[in-house]
């Protein structure tokens, strides 16, 4: 019996050694055999219905070398363009171009060209949503008036890796300005399926620093020819791009959605000096959309609550001495917000895109009524009655009470 | 025959950990309840309802063990119904536990193939999972329970802070409207929830090993509460993050891990979740293989049951691979056929044994008089 046990133990040890010695296993992924994709750009390829996929592969050897530390000029990324009938077939084409297996786990940005966005993005989004290798958090953005392939030739002066430039731009703008907000894949897929809500995505403009040059194939960076700038929001109806919100409209879109970033600035026309403005810094804000239901009729109330401080005036301003000046400015501030909110609502109506989620708020508050109205929502939305209620107040004047008096 | 020696005694916390773990594993892989919910925002209500309905079911299951101290459900079903009908009940339960082990192995395999290693054949994961489960089961219930206690509470601690870690994509409004699908819309998902709680019938094999068996119903009640809380929490969090897409998720807990991104440095927590899910699934396989082997040993009157673990594991691999053509068939089975089977089995077995126990109790009392 003891002999048998010893033999079994020996056999076990032998098998363990054999298994340990077997080189590799299924699904193995050696890090030096992977090509890390950092950005994916998607475009419509002509009128053929095909897709042009542009990706940035990170070049680890160009990032983490002594040369790189000294600011060497070799680009730390490689741009590859492939095309295919579908997103999957375009991805397969990458294997014919890239000597390393494309790895999507580090893809931080998905850029969609305007033409493809107008055709519809559901099919391409489905590939990213379905793929277990892609994270749920890459940012999604649209290229305004151009292609992703074109934009992805661009670089940023402050960042070696363009992906850091794009995401840094999106994140710092989202943090400091109310005009922008990052939109990641998980949010996009959620809104694409949400009742009574249309998606908006940040938009990039292509900025040509030096025209007439093509640095697509350059290995070494000589100078930056193309870069990117944030340019408002792309508005979708369903999965199709239908229009744009400029920077001001984007700001008030956020205010209605309760997403306004405190510390952003707004210029209000001076009530007493036409042509001059008073700069205000918004310190607190809230925004919400409520349906007002009476029988089968529905209207909406947009409520905005906002508080601000004065940060700049272009004339003599002494609210301690003349309190009416202060209350007049407050009223002007309220009117300005009301006008801007009404304008962005009418812009959304003109695009017939319910980006504020009026339908969603009706669904949440009166699901039975929504069930009856949802099929006719596309016809109802452009003529929807929307009342704007603004509660705006000024709280402070900065660290001085009055401006410099004229001698 | 089963002898409960000191080595095989488990504590209340381990008992609660074992049952809780066995209930939260289907929440992390697949989450049939959510898939079965027509309006995903109702999933947390269905989870709550399912948990509340499960309380009397689980109390009845464990309460029966109190009437037969030191006896497993396999043993006292023969005491109550005689050798033929008793063994029939025992065999039904054994088949149920064995099938549960095979299903967990299949779900774990599918999770690995889809989530981490797509080129590896499914059967490779099933072999490893069932072999590891059998090896753990051979160590005895005390070892399984000790590990389950750590893993269950670890999994809960990991799942709880997810809304905080992914706060920027959490949207509370996604939980509205309340009862979007009406009360009728809760019936199917709630019955799926209860059907999984019926797996607590395995407590009938655990109670004799419990160091305070008289408190078994209370501990089982705590298990229902803890796992019910996890169920409600995870379904609410999934809907807050993914909206109605939540019901389309194949690996919900894994997807939750993928949305966490803190300062671009704390990311891909899915790996941690996958590790916990793997260990948890292995322990659930071990628990149900253990229950199957001990039940067979008691029914067949074997001196030694340890020789059954590996053959059972290899059969579980075959059943796991062959029972379902593809993953969709597996999902459909769990939201359509399985709840009916599990609920019928649970209510019939508990009902028959409860009735027999009552009748027998009265007969003994009459004879005593």
| Cβ separation A135–B258 shorter than 8 A | yes
Min Cα–Cα distance to chain A from B270, Å: 10
Report the share of chain A in percent with pLDDT over 70.
88
Residue A32 pLDDT exceeds 70: yes
In this prediction, residues A321-332 reach a mean pLDDT of: 87
| Cβ separation B120–A27 shorter than 8 A | yes
What one-character-per-residue DSSP string does B220-241 give? Answer: HHHHHHHHHHHHHHHHHHHHHH
| Cβ separation A364–B118 shorter than 8 A | no
Q: How confident is the model at residue B267 (pLDDT cuts 50, 70, 90)?
A: confident
**A and B: number of Cβ contacts within 8 A:** 60
Distance between CA atoms of A265 and A243, rounded to whole angstroms?
25
Residue B121 pLDDT exceeds 80: yes
Chain B residues touching residue A26 (CB < 8 angstroms): 117, 119-121, 124
* B274-311 confidence digits (pLDDT tens): 888 899 999 999 999 999 999 999 999 888 888 899 99
Residue A43 pLDDT exceeds 50: yes
Q: Indicate the residue of A135, A190, A367 with minimum beta-carbon distance to B180.
A: A367
Q: A140 has which bridge partners? A: A110
Nearest CA in chain A to B248: A130
Q: Which residue has the higher pLDDT, A316 or A166?
A: A166
Round the average pLDDT of chain A to a whole number and report it.
85
Q: Which residue has the higher pLDDT, B101 or B184?
A: B101
Q: Residue B205: left if φ>0, alpha if ψ -120 to 50, beta else—which one?
A: alpha
Is the link from the previous residue into B177 a cis peptide, with omega within 30 of 0?
yes
Min Cα–Cα distance to chain B from A166, Å: 14
Residue ranges in chain B assigned as alpha helix (H)? 12-28, 32-36, 43-66, 73-115, 122-138, 141-159, 162-165, 184-197, 203-206, 216-242, 252-259, 270-300, 309-322, 327-332, 338-368
B120 and chain A in contact, CB less than 8 A: yes
Task: Strands of A261-335 (E only): list them.
Answer: 265-269, 277-294, 297-313
Residue B361 pLDDT exceeds 50: yes
What is the per-residue pLDDT for B277? 86
Lowest mean pLDDT among A17-31, A122-136, A365-379, B217-231: A17-31
Q: Indicate the residue of B117, B173, B258 with minimum beta-carbon distance to A364.
A: B173
Place of tokens 């025992």: B90
What is the per-residue pLDDT for B229? 93
Residue B1 pLDDT exceeds 50: no
Chain A residues touching residue B120 (CB < 8 angstroms): 25-27
Chain B residues touching residue A184 (CB < 8 angstroms): 169
Residues in B 80-119 with any Cβ partner in A closer than 8 A: 114-119
What is the per-residue pLDDT for B94? 95
Q: Which residue has the higher pLDDT, B165 or A80?
A: A80
In this prediction, residues A26-52 reach a mean pLDDT of: 85
In this prediction, residues A87-107 reach a mean pLDDT of: 90
Question: Coil, strand or helix: which one is A156?
Answer: strand
Q: Which two tokens stand for residue A173?
A: 């703008």
DSSP letter at B204 equals: H
What is the per-residue pLDDT for B100? 94
Q: Which residue has the higher pLDDT, A18 or A362?
A: A362
Residue A377 pLDDT exceeds 70: yes
* B175-194 confidence digits (pLDDT tens): 988 887 788 888 888 998 89
| Cβ separation B268–A189 shorter than 8 A | no
| Cβ separation B261–A135 shorter than 8 A | yes
Strands A34-45 and A240-245: unpaired
Q: Which residue has the higher pLDDT, A243 or A258?
A: A243
* A63-85 confidence digits (pLDDT tens): 765 555 555 567 888 889 999 99
| Cβ separation B119–A194 shorter than 8 A | no
Checking ipTM against 0.85, whether it exceeds it is no
What is the per-residue pLDDT for B336? 86
Min Cα–Cα distance to chain B from A109, Å: 13
In this prediction, residues B104-114 reach a mean pLDDT of: 90
What is the per-residue pLDDT for A131? 86
B41 and chain A in contact, CB less than 8 A: no
B169 and chain A in contact, CB less than 8 A: yes
Distance between CA atoms of B129 and B102, rounded to whole angstroms?
10
Residue A93 pLDDT exceeds 80: yes
Q: How confident is the model at residue A316 (pLDDT cuts 50, 70, 90)?
A: confident
Min Cα–Cα distance to chain A from B61, Å: 40
Round the average pLDDT of chain B to a whole number and report it.
88
What is the per-residue pLDDT for A324? 85
Q: Indicate the residue of A136, A167, A190 with minimum beta-carbon distance to B243.
A: A190
What is the per-residue pLDDT for B167? 80
Chain B residues touching residue A194 (CB < 8 angstroms): 243-244
Of the candidates A381, A339, A329, the one whose C-alpha atom is nearest the C-alpha of residue A359 is A381
Distance between CA atoms of A351 and A301, rounded to whole angstroms?
20
Residue A126 pLDDT exceeds 50: yes
Min Cα–Cα distance to chain A from B218, Å: 39
Of the candidates A158, A145, A146, A162, the one whose C-alpha atom is nearest the C-alpha of residue A79 is A162
Give the best residue of B261, B262, B274, B310 to mutate against chain A (max A CB count within 10 A).
Answer: B261
What one-character-per-residue DSSP string does B159-185 give? Answer: HTTHHHHTGGG--GGGGPSTTTTTTHH
B165 and chain A in contact, CB less than 8 A: no
Question: Coil, strand or helix: which one is A387?
Answer: strand
Residue A212 pLDDT exceeds 90: no
Q: Any idea of the CA torsion for A14, A16, A20, A25, to the nearest 10 degrees? A: 120
Strands A386-396 and A297-313: parallel
Residue A24 pLDDT exceeds 70: no
In this prediction, residues A28-35 reach a mean pLDDT of: 80
Q: Indicate the residue of B114, B118, B259 with minimum beta-carbon distance to A137.
A: B259
Min Cα–Cα distance to chain A from B342, Å: 32
Cα Rg of chain B (Å, integer):
20
| Cβ separation B117–A27 shorter than 8 A | yes
Min Cα–Cα distance to chain A from B259, Å: 5
Distance between CA atoms of A207 and A229, rounded to whole angstroms?
7
Q: Crossing angle, helix A122-130 and helix A87-97, to 10 degrees?
A: 60
In this prediction, residues A288-311 reach a mean pLDDT of: 89
| Contacts of residue A375, Cβ cutoff 8 Å, sequence gap at least 6 | none
Question: Coil, strand or helix: which one is B334?
Answer: helix
Q: Which residue has the higher pLDDT, A160 or A366?
A: A366
| Cβ separation B259–A190 shorter than 8 A | no
What is the per-residue pLDDT for B5? 57
Chain B residues touching residue A193 (CB < 8 angstroms): 243-245
């Amino acid at each position: 019996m003891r002999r048998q046990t010893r033999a079994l133990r020996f056999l076990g040890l032998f098998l363990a050694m054999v298994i340990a010695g077997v080189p590799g296993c299924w699904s193995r992924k050696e890090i030096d055999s992977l090509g890390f994709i950092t950005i994916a750009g998607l475009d419509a390829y002509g009128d053929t219905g095909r897709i042009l996929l542009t990706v940035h592969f990170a070049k680890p050897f160009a990032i983490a070398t002594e040369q790189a530390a000294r600011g060497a000029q070799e680009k730390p990324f490689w741009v590859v363009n492939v095309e295919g009938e579908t997103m999957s077939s375009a991805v397969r084409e990458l294997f014919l171009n890239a000597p390393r297996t494309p790895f999507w786990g580090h893809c931080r940005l998905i850029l969609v060209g305007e033409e493809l966005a107008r055709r519809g993005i559901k099919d391409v989004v489905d590939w990213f949503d379905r793929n277990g290798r892609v994270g749920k958090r890459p940012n999604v953005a649209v290229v305004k008036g151009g292609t992703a392939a074109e934009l992805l030739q661009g670089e940023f002066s402050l960042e070696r890796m363009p992906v850091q430039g794009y995401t840094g731009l999106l994140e710092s703008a989202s943090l400091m300005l109310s005009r922008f907000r990052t939109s990641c894949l998980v949010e996009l897929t959620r809104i694409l399926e949400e009742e009574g809500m249309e998606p908006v995505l940040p938009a990039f403009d292509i900025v040509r620093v030096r025209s007439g040059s093509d640095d697509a194939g350059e290995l070494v960076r000589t100078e930056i020819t193309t870069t990117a700038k944030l340019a408002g929001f792309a508005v979708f109806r369903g999965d199709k791009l239908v229009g744009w919100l400029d920077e001001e409209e984007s700001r008030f879109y956020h205010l209605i959605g309760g997403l306004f970033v405190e510390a952003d600035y707004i210029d209000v026309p001076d009530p007493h000096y036409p042509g001059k403005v008073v700069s205000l810094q918004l310190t607190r804000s809230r925004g919400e959309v409520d349906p007002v239901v009476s029988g089968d009729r529905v209207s909406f109330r947009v409520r905005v609550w906002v508080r601000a401080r004065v940060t700049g005036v272009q004339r003599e301003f002494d609210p301690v001495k003349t309190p009416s000046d202060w209350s007049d400015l407050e009223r002007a501030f309220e009117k300005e917000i009301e006008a801007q909110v009404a304008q962005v609502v009418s812009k959304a109506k003109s695009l017939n895109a319910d980006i504020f989620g009026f339908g969603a708020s009706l669904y949440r508050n009166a699901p039975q009524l929504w069930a009856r109205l949802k099929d006719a929502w596309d016809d109802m939305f452009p003529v929807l009655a929307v009342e704007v209620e603004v509660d705006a107040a000024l709280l402070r004047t900065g660290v001085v009470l009055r401006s410099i008096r004229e001698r | 025959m089963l002898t409960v020696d000191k080595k095989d005694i488990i504590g209340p916390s381990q008992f609660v950990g074992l049952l809780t773990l066995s209930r939260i594993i289907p929440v992390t892989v697949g989450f049939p309840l959510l898939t079965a919910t027509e309006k995903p925002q109702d999933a947390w209500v269905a989870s709550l309802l399912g948990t509340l309905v499960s309380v009397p079911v689980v109390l009845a299951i464990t309460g029966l063990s109190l009437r037969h101290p030191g006896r497993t459900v396999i043993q006292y079903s023969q005491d109550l119904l005689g050798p033929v009908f008793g063994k029939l009940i025992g065999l039904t339960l054994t088949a149920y536990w064995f099938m549960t082990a095979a299903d967990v192995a299949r779900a774990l395999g599918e999770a690995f193939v889809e989530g981490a290693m797509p080129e590896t054949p499914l059967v490779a994961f099933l072999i490893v999972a069932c072999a590891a489960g059998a090896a753990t089961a051979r160590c005895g219930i005390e070892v399984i329970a000790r590990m389950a206690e750590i893993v269950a509470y670890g999994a809960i601690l990991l799942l709880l802070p997810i809304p905080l870690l992914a706060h920027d994509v959490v949207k509370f409004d996604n939980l509205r409207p309340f009862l979007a699908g009406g009360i009728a819309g809760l019936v199917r998902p709630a019955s799926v929830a209860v059907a999984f709680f019926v797996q607590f019938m395995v407590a009938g094999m655990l109670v004799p090993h419990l160091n305070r068996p008289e408190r078994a119903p209370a501990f089982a009640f705590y298990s229902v509460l803890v796992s019910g809380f996890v169920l409600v929490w995870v379904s609410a969090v999934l809907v807050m993050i993914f909206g109605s897409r939540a019901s389309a998720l194949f690996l919900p807990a894994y997807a939750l891990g993928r949305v966490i991104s803190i300062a671009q440095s704390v990311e891909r927590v899915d790996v941690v979740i996958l590790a916990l899910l793997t260990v948890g699934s292995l322990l659930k396989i071990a628990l149900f293989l253990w229950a199957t082997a001990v039940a067979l040993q008691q029914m067949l009157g074997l001196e030694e049951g340890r020789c059954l673990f590996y053959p059972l594991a290899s059969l579980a691999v075959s059943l796991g691979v062959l029972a379902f053509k593809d993953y969709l068939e597996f999902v459909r089975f769990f939201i359509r056929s399985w709840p009916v089977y599990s609920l019928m089995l649970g209510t019939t077995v508990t009902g028959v044994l409860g009735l027999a126990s009552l009748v027998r109790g009265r007969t003994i009392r009459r004879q005593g008089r």
